[in-house]
């Protein structure tokens, strides 16, 4: 064999460093032993990738012979490995002596040569015949039978070893009688030559570190079964193909957050609660939630039996470039068990392809005590070719680590075959984790009305979308990368949807138009991605509904007979539920699915509430609002559920119901205040509660006929909506104030305003405008101009006298959106027309 045909250079380099560090060899010894010049050896040891070591099989054998006869250098290694293993490794003189028996084959194999005895599995000569028989017979078994057979053999062998160890009378100086792991480490120091020198020391080192870690964690006793299981898991991992890109992933922490919130039955909203439970059960039956069926709906008394939706957060120590590790987070949400959610987090973030993501696990405890170690074996893939094993104390972390280990084998296999670039993979894995973390923070901030926080700023959301696009450019379009491309597309579209929502509620409709156009362009880039992201497309569509409502140009939307087909709710519901299937990124109903259903039902109902004067349509809209609230509570969105319940009450007010609107208000108020604390400002609280103020005001005006109290509620709603720039809510409040003012001919504007804007910081003055409009919203500015003008009028007119100013401003806002999206239009926005005629949001009988 020529000198140029040498195999694995990295493994050979590690072996030569082992000789330097553990045998006390010098560079001169290595150079002379192999017959290679010293500068070439030095460059090779310094990881010069261009440098290949020109040594043949005979040169390596001569090196082992020369090291056996040489003396160790007096210099001491300062490597970290030596510091860790100082107390367990034999001295260098003894290692040199053993080199003759067990070191040559290890060195030859590291360089890609066949060992001297040409055995694939190294075993002592007296055991070779028996081991060879077992290995030969195992090759005849099908893979399914092989698994069970090896498990049976391991159980028998482990039991035999445990019995033999009890009969042993060996004295141990360092470990107690109940420490079989310590005893095993002692045995490995003096025996087990088949491991080779380097591998044996590495195994001892890892066992020693594991022993220390478990001891520090409070485990004081180790059975023989636990010791053997740890030994087998380490020895198997050490002999598997090495990761050429230094990919290191270690699970550090595992958290589970229960997202679902449940409503308790209370007398003050008992009728509403009964309706809510029936609709909630039907909604879950439609999703085929385990444990529910349609026959249970009529008998349902509560929603407590529903399995909660849980978010798993897996924190890992991650490194892919040989540099220092850093923490990354993997997240997954569904209504499945905590184990399934944890596995989902690993599969999603490791980018496993559909044929590999099929996970089979086997877990067993190794002792009967409460602090027993757990052993998990894992098989990945439909062809079951990638396997992993791990032993530790925490059963779920052990399982995840075994999955990661098996997945790394798949990654190395794909990297070796050239189908996957491990550097691209590692970079994408890290980037996706960070991006999803930022996106999750932004989504949660949005759901809690924290629009003034950094996470909700347009520039921050745009950064998330831009980063996702930049990462997509780095990832090849081959199918093996599809999972990662899909997840970066998810991040992109979810971020753009947040941008769209922000533009919609702030009244920046022209910007919303641009965002929708850009989203549609990107959607056409990859049809397979488009098919996989139906729930996110539904989320975007729910915002498109509101955009179209604001524009006022689509005749089918404003036609009572055509609107239902235009909205296509049934089709979207079917598509969202159809996206939940094995092998997709939505195998189970999780955050995206529940949020999509909540928003699509809620916004369809909102459009019907704003546009319809038909009793049956409004009744159906109220049911849709309740369904939207249920879906929101399944993923813990109390504020969103509160808003949908407030809309439900408003629909019932329009239907003339005197009971249910009050119950809706009480439940909505209770949910909204669950996330409000003493640290929140009064203005912020008014903003969060503004939809409930609208409900209360409409109830007082239309059901109780109390215009004075209704006005105060509408002003509270207006003040809160102005604070966060909630444009449609501003218009609702303005129009309601106008309607209310028709009955307030003897009530002055200043007295009415002072009941709401009553503290020094809230006075309607020029100096306070920034405090009342911290988002600098254009519509909010117009409202404050009107209110400040009324506050400063010396004649102090009645509300009846200024009623038209409020309705005119509401109509102007809707009409402004109409013109913004179609410059030069001469038509009137349909809602602006209804506001001017006073027919908008009237009661129906």
CA 538 – CA 494 distance, rounded (Å): 11
Three-state SS annotation for 521-556? HHHCCCHHHHHHCHHHHHHHHHHHHHHHHHHCCCCC
Please, are residues 576 and 534 in contact by the beta-carbon 8 Å criterion?
Answer: yes
User: Which of 11, 61, 2 is CA-nearest to residue 33?
Assistant: 61
d(CA 82, CA 88) in angstroms, rounded, equals 10
What is the model's pLDDT at position 132?
Answer: 67
Which H or E run includes 255? strand 248-258
Q: Exposed e or buried b for every residue in 435-455, given b needs 16+ CB within 10 A?
A: bbebbbbbbebbbbbbbeeeb
pLDDT at 363: 87
pLDDT in tens, 169-223: 344 445 556 788 888 888 777 766 566 677 777 888 888 888 888 888 888 888 8
By CB atoms closer than 10 A (0-12, 13-18, 19+), residue 758 is exposed
Q: What is the DSSP string of 561-585?
A: TTHHHHHTHHHHHHHHHHT--TTSS
If we measure between CA atoms, which residue out of 701, 549, 696, 563 comes closest to residue 610? 549
In this predicted structure, what is the pLDDT of residue 78?
42
405 vs 420: CA distance, rounded Å: 17
Residue 363 burial by CB count (10 A; 0-12/13-18/19+): exposed, middle or buried?
Answer: middle
CA dihedral for 476, 480, 484, 487, sign (positive or negative) = positive
Give the pLDDT score at 708. 96
Q: How far apart are CA 304 and CA 265, in angstroms?
A: 11
Percentage of the chain beyond pLDDT 70 is 85
Given this model, what pLDDT does residue 302 score?
A: 74
Question: Cα separation of 549 and 611, whole Å?
Answer: 9
Residue 376 backbone zone (phi > 0: left; psi -120 to 50: alpha; other: beta): beta
DSSP conformation class of 448: T
Domain ranges of the chain: 3-118, 144-255+336-346+357-422, 423-501+512-518, 676-845
| Gap between the Cα atoms of 428 and 708, Å rounded | 60
Environment class of residue 191 by beta-carbon count within 10 Å: exposed (0-12), middle (13-18) or buried (19+)?
exposed
Give SS3 for 619. helix
**Contact assessment for residue 781 and residue 722, using Cβ atoms and an 8 Å cutoff:** no
How far apart CA 114 and CA 628 sit, in angstroms, is 67
Phi-psi region for residue 841, left (φ > 0), alpha (ψ -120 to 50) or beta? Answer: left
Q: Which portions of the chain are predicted below pLDDT 50?
A: 1-7, 76-89, 118-119, 166-173, 294-298
Q: Residue 82: exposed, middle, or buried by beta-carbon count in 10 A (0-12, 13-18, 19+)?
A: middle
Answer yes or no: are the C-beta atoms of 538 and 498 closer than 8 Å.
no
Q: Which of 217, 188, 215, 222 is nearest to 203 (CA)?
A: 188
């Amino acid at each position: 064999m020529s000198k140029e045909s040498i195999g694995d250079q990295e493994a050979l380099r590690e072996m030569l460093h082992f000789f330097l560090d553990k045998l006390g060899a010098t560079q001169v010894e290595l150079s002379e032993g192999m017959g290679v010049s010293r500068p070439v050896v030095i460059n090779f040891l310094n990881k010069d990738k261009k440098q290949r070591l020109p040594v043949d099989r005979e040169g390596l054998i001569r090196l082992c012979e020369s090291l056996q006869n040489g003396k160790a250098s007096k210099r001491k290694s300062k490597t970290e490995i030596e510091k860790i293993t100082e107390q367990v490794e034999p001295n260098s003189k003894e290692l040199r002596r053993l080199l003759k028996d067990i070191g040559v084959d290890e060195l030859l194999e590291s360089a890609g040569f066949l060992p001297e005895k040409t055995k694939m599995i190294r075993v002592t000569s007296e055991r070779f015949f028996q081991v060879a028989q077992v290995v030969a017979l195992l090759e005849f078994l099908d893979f399914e039978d092989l698994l069970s057979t090896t498990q049976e053999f391991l159980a028998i062998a482990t039991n035999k070893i445990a019995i033999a160890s009890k009969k042993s009378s060996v004295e141990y100086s360092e470990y107690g009688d109940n420490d079989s792991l310590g005893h095993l480490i002692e045995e490995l120091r003096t025996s087990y030559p088949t491991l080779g020198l380097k591998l044996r020391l590495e195994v001892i080192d890892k066992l020693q570190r594991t022993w220390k870690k478990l001891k520090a964690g409070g485990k004081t006793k180790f059975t023989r079964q636990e010791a053997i299981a740890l030994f087998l898991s380490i020895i198997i991992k050490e002999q598997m193909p090495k990761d050429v890109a230094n990919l290191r992933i270690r699970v550090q922490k595992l958290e589970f957050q229960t997202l679902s919130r449940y409503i308790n039955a209370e007398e003050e909203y008992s009728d509403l609660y009964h309706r809510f439970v029936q609709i909630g059960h039907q909604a879950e039956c439609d999703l085929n939630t385990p444990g529910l069926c349609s026959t249970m709906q009529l008998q349902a008394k509560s929603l407590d039996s529903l399995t909660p939706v849980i978010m798993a957060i897996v924190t890992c120590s991650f490194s892919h470039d040989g540099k220092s590790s850093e923490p990354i987070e993997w997240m997954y949400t569904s209504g499945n068990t905590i184990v399934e959610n944890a596995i989902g987090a690993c599969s999603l973030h490791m980018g496993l392809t559909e044929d590999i993501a099929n996970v089979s696990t086997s877990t067993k405890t190794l002792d009967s005590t409460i602090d027993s170690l757990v052993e998990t074996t894992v098989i990945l893939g439909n062809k079951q070719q990638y396997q992993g094993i791990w032993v530790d104390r925490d059963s779920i972390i052990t399982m995840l680590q075994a999955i990661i280990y098996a997945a790394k084998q798949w990654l190395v296999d794909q990297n070796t075959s050239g189908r996957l670039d491990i550097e691209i993979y590692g970079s994408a894995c890290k980037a996706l984790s960070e991006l999803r973390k930022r996106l999750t923070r932004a989504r949660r901030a949005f759901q809690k009305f924290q629009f003034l926080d950094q996470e909700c700023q347009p520039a921050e959301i745009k950064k998330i979308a831009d980063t996702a696009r930049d990462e997509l450019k780095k990832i090849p379009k081959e199918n093996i990368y599809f999972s990662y491309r899909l997840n970066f597309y998810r991040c992109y579209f979810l971020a753009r949807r947040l941008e769209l929502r922000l533009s919609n509620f702030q009244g920046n409709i022209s910007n919303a138009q641009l965002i929708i156009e850009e989203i549609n362009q990107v959607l056409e880039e990859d049809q397979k991605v488009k098919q996989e992201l139906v729930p996110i497309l539904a989320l975007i569509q729910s915002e498109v509904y509101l955009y179209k409502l604001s524009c006022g140009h689509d005749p089918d939307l404003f036609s009572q007979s055509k609107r239902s087909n235009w909205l296509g709710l049934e089709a979207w519901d079917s598509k969202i539920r159809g996206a939940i299937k094995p092998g997709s990124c939505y195998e189970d109903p999780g955050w995206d699915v529940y949020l999509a259903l909540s928003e699509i039902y809620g916004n369809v109902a909102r459009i019907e509430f704003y546009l319809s004067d038909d009793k049956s349509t409004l009744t159906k809209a109220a049911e849709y609002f309740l369904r939207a609230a249920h879906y929101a509570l399944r993923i813990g969105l109390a504020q969103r559920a509160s808003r949908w319940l407030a809309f439900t009450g408003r629909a019932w007010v329009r239907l003339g119901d005197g009971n249910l609107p009050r119950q809706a208000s009480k439940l909505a108020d209770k949910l909204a205040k669950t996330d409000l604390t003493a640290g929140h400002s009064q203005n912020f609280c008014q903003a969060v509660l503004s939809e409930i103020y609208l409900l209360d005001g409409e109830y007082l005006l239309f059901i109780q006929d109390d215009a004075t109290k209704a006005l105060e509620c509408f002003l509270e709603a207006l003040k809160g909506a102005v604070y966060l720039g909630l444009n449609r809510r501003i218009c609702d409040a303005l129009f309601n104030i106008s309607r209310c003012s028709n009955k307030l001919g003897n009530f002055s504007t200043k007295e009415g305003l002072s009941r709401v804007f009553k503290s020094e910081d809230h006075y309607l003055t020029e100096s306070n405008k920034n405090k009342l409009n911290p988002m600098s919203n254009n519509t909010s500015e117009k409202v404050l101009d009107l209110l400040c003008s009324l506050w400063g009028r010396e004649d102090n007119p009645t509300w009846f006298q200024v009623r038209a100013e409020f309705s005119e401003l509401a109509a102007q806002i809707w009409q402004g959106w109409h013109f913004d999206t179609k410059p030069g239009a001469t038509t009137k926005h349909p809602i602006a027309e209804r506001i001017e005629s006073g027919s908008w949001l009237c009661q129906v009988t």
